[in-house]
């Protein structure tokens, strides 16, 4: 892993802490937590907008942020402000009796707020008061390395608007409209997803107009090939795609699908290198095949996919996270090897969450506090991710899968007995 880290938003970069810290990334920032039991956390969050330019304004905003995050016990800490590397910066350190992650606990806090070129970047370090100086040098090294990008990239909404304008101009004879799942729908049938395109754009650093025009032209031409395919030609390309049922409205009402469990359905796509074409009732009529034949092709093709996963000992429970960069992480819940892999690490019964397209996590039923924490995390991920699927958890056993609600099963809430993989 490179020592230098650039966030996917391209709003900021920094030097990672050295060994002993775990990294987790979200849409707006990055979080580092100590591997040991110290409870120390370093959180960095960025926002693009009308960032203040003066040191006095930045200092005032930091004071307001501290009052909001630490309402009980921070008092009125001294906030200092200066210029660092072309950025306005405000800084404060203090003790509080009510940390955001540790209600009622005595914590030591160091807080910075940087501003430059329309971007606000907050950096917050929090640890138990007794360890206030344990990470000072490491945190100072990270803070000294912070850089804010001078020109923020397009937001997802701006990117979608640009893509719509360019696609309509490049295809004057076709109807192009926005689809609910951050994509384009061409002629009411061909779906062109923009998630991966946007991700590549964020890391390209190039001119947005030229980049989007070049990619969209290639994607729309590739997607239109589906209209000329026979079923024999299309069959090797068919894949399942897990979606939530309420997406099957409006422009998506004609997508063929099969019920799976509760609010989840299985849709079907033609998988190309740079686009994904959802299969519609019209395509099935052209091919003169039924849903069962499409489903069988999808199952056979998807069974060849690998099942990369990571076991996380989230004491006192265990999580099995299935990871992939192909857009089918959540859909791996349908893979024939899923239950065998998860059960060997979690036991015959466990829970699973698919909060968004790129997330699939199976986790132990007990103990209760761990289960409740995971259920809350599923809801939080569902609410903040770009491709949400479901805020629910599902109970999985050798007998099948069903939606889970707390209290719906007789669970012995003792400690988790970790099975050893065979």
Nearest alpha-carbon partner for 389 in 201, 241, 203? 241
* Beta carbons of 323 and 265 less than 8 angstroms apart: no
Share of the chain above pLDDT 70, in %: 78
Please write the tens of the pLDDT for every residue from 130-158: 888 889 999 999 999 999 876 666 778 88
Position 422 scores a pLDDT of 47
- CA 202 to chain centroid, in Å, comes to 15
* Beta carbons of 28 and 40 less than 8 angstroms apart: no
Would you give per-residue pLDDT tens digits along the chain (422 residues)? Answer: 458 888 876 778 999 988 889 888 876 789 999 888 788 999 998 875 555 657 888 888 888 888 887 776 556 788 998 888 778 899 999 888 765 555 667 889 999 999 887 678 899 999 988 888 889 999 999 999 999 876 666 778 888 888 887 777 766 677 888 877 778 877 776 667 777 677 666 655 555 666 667 666 666 665 566 567 899 999 999 999 999 888 777 656 778 999 999 989 999 999 887 667 788 887 888 899 999 999 999 999 999 999 999 998 877 889 999 988 788 999 999 999 999 999 999 999 999 999 988 889 999 998 888 999 999 999 988 887 767 899 999 999 999 999 998 876 766 655 555 565 54
Query: Which H/E stretch holds residue 21?
Result: strand 21-25
Q: Domain-by-domain residue ranges, the chain? A: 4-148, 156-302, 309-404
* Beta carbons of 86 and 116 less than 8 angstroms apart: yes
CA angle 393, 399, 401 (to 5 degrees): 20
Taking each helix axis from N to C end, the angle separating 195-204 and 208-224, rounded to the nearest 10 degrees, works out to: 150
Position 207 scores a pLDDT of 54
Query: Which H/E stretch holds residue 137?
Result: helix 136-145
Position 261 scores a pLDDT of 93
Query: Which H/E stretch holds residue 44?
Result: strand 41-48
Position 298 scores a pLDDT of 96
Taking each helix axis from N to C end, the angle separating 156-170 and 195-204, rounded to the nearest 10 degrees, works out to: 110
**Adjacent-strand bridge partners of 181:** none
Please write the tens of the pLDDT for every residue from 301-340: 999 999 999 998 877 889 999 988 788 999 999 999 999 9
Q: How far apart are CA 50 and CA 170, in angstroms?
A: 34
For the residues of 207-232, what is the DSSP string, one character each?
-HHHHHHHHHHHHHHHHHGGGG--HH
Q: How far apart are CA 159 and CA 214, in angstroms?
A: 14
Task: Share the mean pLDDT of the chain.
Answer: 82
Q: How far apart are CA 143 and CA 155, in angstroms?
A: 26
Q: How far apart are CA 340 and CA 321, in angstroms?
A: 14
Ranges of beta strands (E only) in 263-418 are: 264-271, 276-278, 309-312, 319-322, 350-353, 361-363, 393-397, 400-404
The residues near 223 (Cβ < 8 Å, ≥ 6 apart) are 186, 190, 191, 192, 272, 275, 277
Position 415 scores a pLDDT of 52
Q: Is the bond preceding 250 in cis, omega lying within 30 degrees of 0?
A: no
Position 177 scores a pLDDT of 85
Q: Per the CATH hierarchy, to which homologous superfamily does domain 4-148 belong?
A: Mog1/PsbP, alpha/beta/alpha sandwich (3.40.1000.10)
Nearest alpha-carbon partner for 371 in 339, 402, 406, 398? 406
Report the residue count for the chain. 422
């Amino acid at each position: 892993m490179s020592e230098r880290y650039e966030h996917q938003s391209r709003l900021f970069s920094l030097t990672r802490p050295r060994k002993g810290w775990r990294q987790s990334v979200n849409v707006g920032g990055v979080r580092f937590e100590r591997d040991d039991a110290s409870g120390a956390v370093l959180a960095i969050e960025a926002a693009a907008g009308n960032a203040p330019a003066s040191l006095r304004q930045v200092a005032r905003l930091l004071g307001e942020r501290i009052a909001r995050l630490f309402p009980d016990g921070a008092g009125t800490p001294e906030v200092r402000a200066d210029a660092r590397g072309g950025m306005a910066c405000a800084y404060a350190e203090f003790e509080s009796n009510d940390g955001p992650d540790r209600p009622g606990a005595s914590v030591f806090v160091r807080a910075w707020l940087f501003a430059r070129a329309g971007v606000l970047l907050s950096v917050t370090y929090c640890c138990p008061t007794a360890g206030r100086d344990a990470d000072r040098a490491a945190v100072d090294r990270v803070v000294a390395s912070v850089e804010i990008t001078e020109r923020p990239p397009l937001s997802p909404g701006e990117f979608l608007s640009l893509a719509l304008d360019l696609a309509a101009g490049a295809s004057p004879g076709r109807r192009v409209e926005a689809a609910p799942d951050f994509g384009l729908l061409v002629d009411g049938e061909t779906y062109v997803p923009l998630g991966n395109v946007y991700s590549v754009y964020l890391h390209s650093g190039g001119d947005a107009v030229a980049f989007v025009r070049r990619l969209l032209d290639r994607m729309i031409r590739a997607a239109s090939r589906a209209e000329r395919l026979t079923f024999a030609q299309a069959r090797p390309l068919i894949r399942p795609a897990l979606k939530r049922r309420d997406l099957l409205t409006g422009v998506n009402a004609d997508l063929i699908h099969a019920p799976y469990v509760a609010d989840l359905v299985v849709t079907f796509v033609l998988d190309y290198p740079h686009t994904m074409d959802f299969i519609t009732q019209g395509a099935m009529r052209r091919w003169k095949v039924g849903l069962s034949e499409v489903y069988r092709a999808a199952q056979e093709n998807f069974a060849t996919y690998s099942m990369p996963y990571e076991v996380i000992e989230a004491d006192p429970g265990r999580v099995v996270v299935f990871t992939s960069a192909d857009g089918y992480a959540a859909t791996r819940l349908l893979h024939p090897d899923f239950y065998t892999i998860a059960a060997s690490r979690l036991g015959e019964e466990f829970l699973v969450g698919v909060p968004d397209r790129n997330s699939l996590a199976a986790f132990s039923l007990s103990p209760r506090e761990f289960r409740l924490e995971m259920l809350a995390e599923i809801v939080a991920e569902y609410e903040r991710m770009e491709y949400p699927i479901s805020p629910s958890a599902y109970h999985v056993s050798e007998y099948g899968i069903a939606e889970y609600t707390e209290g719906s099963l007789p669970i012995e809430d003792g400690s988790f007995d970790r099975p050893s993989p065979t």
